[in-house]
Amino acid sequence: GKPALVPCARNRAVAPLVPAADALVLDSTRLSIEQVIEKALQYARQKLALA
């Protein structure tokens, strides 16, 4: 059958989801799970080094 239509939480009228100003927004469309984890770890290590 047809997939259910799920409204995007960023576009909803009440309380849309918005990333925090300092959030890591990582497009994982063309990345493997290993690449996503590595990028997230690199980001975390960089942030911790600056703290």
In a domain, 7, yes or no: no
- Mark out the alpha helices in the chain (DSSP H runs): 33-50
Place of tokens 């990333």: 19
In a domain, 6, yes or no: no
In a domain, 25, yes or no: yes
Residue 42: predicted pLDDT: 96
In a domain, 28, yes or no: yes
| Number of structural domains in the chain | 1
Give the range of the structural domain holding residue 31, as residue numbers without chain letter: 20-51
Distance CA 11, CA 29 (A): 20
In a domain, 9, yes or no: no
Question: Which of 43, 49, 45, 41 minimizes the C-alpha distance to 22?
Answer: 43
In a domain, 31, yes or no: yes
- Using one digit for the tens of pLDDT, what is the confidence trace for 1-51? 666 666 688 788 888 888 899 899 999 999 999 999 999 999 999 999 987
pTM summary value: 0.62
What CA–CA distances, in Å, run from 35 to 5, 10, 26, 28, 45? Answer: 29, 25, 11, 8, 15
